[in-house]
Amino acid sequence: SAIEGVSPDALREQMLEGLPAKTLRKRSKQILENDPDSPLVIGANTRTIPGIITQRGCTYAGCRGVVIGPIHDILHITHGPVGCSYYSWQTRRNLARTSELGKANFLQYCMTTDMQEDHIVFGGEKRLAAAIREAYELFKPKAISVYATCPVGLIGDDIHSVCREASKELGINVFGFSCEGYKGVSQSAGHHIANNGVFKHMIGLDDAPVGEDADAPFKINILGEYNIGGDAWEIDTLLRKCGVRVLATLSGGVTYDEITSCHQADLNVVMCHRSINYMAEMMETKFGIPWFKVNFIGADSTAKSLRKIAQYFGDENLIARTEEVIAQEMEAIREVRLEVKARHQGKKAALFVGGSRAHHYQDLFADIGMETISAGYEFAHRDDYEGRDVLPSIKVDADSRNIEELHVDPDPERFRPRISPEAKAKMIANGFSFSDYQGMMKEMKKRALVIDDISHHELEKLIETWKPDIIGSGIKDKYIVEKMGVPCKQLHSYDYGGPYAAFTGAANFYKEVDRMLSSKVWGYVVPPWVKDRKIGEPAAVV
Ligand code: CFN
Ligand code: HCA
């Protein structure tokens, strides 16, 4: 493979060559040759280096854009200059549909206080209060969520007291997030702030029985699933077939009421650990809901995750039905999987995305026999790379030093251990693991290159040297990669495609990869390192 041609170490040297000493020290820790048996310590979740174009986003993006934005029947008001709101307006493809006529879906709207210079000088609290009032009059929502942007933090507007006053005046739930963009080193701090706020202002508010699902025997929440391209709907449909009901998906295609009552679930399963581990821990402490990680990206991973959920409940019928569903679904996609695999087996992918997909999508490529030769997150932390057992507690996580950790106690009225400590111990003794979260490095091949927050220069070196057949990344890299003649699939927005989760989604993805890899267009692109080739000449003549 590529790795045998130029060694990972030599490629790493090329990537680091010419950097000033201080930058070199820092970047060296973020580019590592993988050893799955004893993962090296990676320089993750540290500040980006000025001058190097980072893949990352800001704390506001992680809070407003990622975790809370997808709640579709509350209003989201950005307190700040218009740009922050504008650039979070439908740029992330977290889909939502309104299930019943007359129910609200406000996701198409973009609301902001549109701060001007005089608000920066004299303060913006009055303007925020007026905006909340105006928005309420227009839409009469169940709740309003307010987000502070950088200048708001710098001038010290107290958005929380404005929200409290508005809540009293309007008689609805109004809450704010101090998620100023600069608060953390990436959007990751925004996830943490968002989790704290959702837990404090929404979780556990409603104890009324959860409608038609109240008597369902197996009730779960899916945490860290954002319904990009409709993924959450695929997962929901699949679980229903097995006999498992999803009370709430945090946060994808989800309503306020689903969130305020989802503490009634029997189990939380976590898709994106990076963005929502905080919530899983807090719900376990307060209500006694156990959690473990799942991955519905890739057919084999989906089957494994379904089996784990069935095993957790331990019900014979559920286990049998789950096996039937897996057999049916696998059969339905068998042909396309084999066909695509036959054409592309052995090809190489490189994935640089966010805080969990660079790991999850490796399983989807593995379904069709493709290997990931290099991967990295934008903003994940050491536990996402090295495994949770390396860093067993989120308390030592770098984010937690900056962001206030909520103090959570068991709720004396509502704490209900879903399984007794004895039953849990027995399950663990029988091989069931609540914490078998390996992290990216333990599951990648030896000698793969793991690169945190890859730069364009490093990406160019990777493409030139190891020639991956496809790259999975985001909008900041896509066209740079494609101008080098390599297809690039956006694994944030799925470009215009998806869903890619569960079995049906996996089949969609196999076909998409097949289409991209089979296109002849890439051979006509002249990459920057080829000097003498004319545009239009096929690559083969070089
Ligand atoms: S939907 Fe998620 S899966 S939440 Fe997170 S870490 Fe982002 S917005 Mo982009 S696609 Fe990405 Fe993950 Fe979790 Fe999305 S890999 S970067 S902050 N992410
Ligand atoms: C964000 C959102 C983002 C950006 C995608 C990209 C998303 O980070 O604020 O860079 O292509 O998924 O929409 O991650």
**Greatest C-alpha distance within the chain:** 75
| Percent of the chain whose pLDDT exceeds 90 | 85
Q: How far is the CA of 342 from the centre of ligand 2 (A)?
A: 33
**pLDDT at 540 exceeding the cut of 60:** no
**C-alpha of residue 365 to centroid of ligand 2, in Å:** 21
Q: Is the CB of 356 under 6 A from ligand 1?
A: yes
Report whether 286 contacts 411 (CB < 8 A).
yes
Which is the closest atom of ligand 1 to the Cα of 491?
10
Task: Give the residue among 207, 148, 208, 198 at the shortest CA–CA distance from 173.
Answer: 198
Q: Which ligand is nearest to the CA of 352?
A: 1
CA atoms within 13 A on the CB side of 198: 35
Q: Which residue in 230, 239, 232, 243 sits closest to 272, CA to CA?
A: 232
Strand, helix or coil for residue 250: strand
Which pTM value belongs to this model? 0.95
Residue of the CA atom closest to atom 11 of ligand 1: 354
> Catalytic one among 2, 12, 27, 58?
58
Residue 353: CB within 6 Å of ligand 1?
yes
The pLDDT of residue 541: 41
The yes-or-no verdict on residue 481 having pLDDT over 60 is yes
Write out pLDDT tens, residues 137-178. 999 999 999 999 999 999 999 999 999 999 999 999 999 999
306/288 Cα distance (integer angstroms): 22
pLDDT one-digit tens code per residue, 332-358:
999 999 999 999 999 999 999 999 999
Counting ligand 2 atoms within 8 A of each CB, the residue from 91, 251, 352, 490 with the most, and so the one to mutate, is 91
The answer to whether the bond into 499 is cis (omega within 30° of 0) is yes
Phi, psi of 435, rounded to the nearest 5 degrees: -140, 40
Please report the pLDDT score of residue 542 as a whole number.
38
Q: Report the distance separating Cα 168 and Cα 112, nearest Å.
A: 21
pLDDT in the model for residue 378: 97
d(CA 5, CA 245): 50
**Of 241, 218, 174, 189, residue with least CA distance to 61:** 189
Active site residue 61: yes
User: Would you list the DSSP string of 303-368?
Assistant: HHHHHHHHHHHT-HHHHHHHHHHHHHHHHHHHHHHHHHHHHHTT-EEEEE-TTTHHHHHHHHHHHT
Whether residue 290 contacts residue 242, with contact meaning beta carbons closer than 8 Å, is answered with no
- Residue 355 CB less than 6 A away from ligand 1: yes
Packed helices 502-518 and 357-367: angle between N→C axes, nearest 10 degrees:
80
ipTM for the whole complex: 0.98
User: Residue 376: what are its φ and ψ, rounded to 5°?
Assistant: -170, 160
Pocket test for ligand 1, best of 195, 226, 278, 364 (most atoms within 8 A of CB): 226
Q: Could you report the per-residue pLDDT of 190-214, keeping only the tens digit for each?
A: 999 999 999 999 999 999 999 888 8
Residue 381: per-residue pLDDT:
93
Q: Does residue 392 have a pLDDT over 70?
A: no
Residues contacting residue 163 through CB under 8 Å, at least 6 positions apart: 132, 144, 146, 174, 175, 176
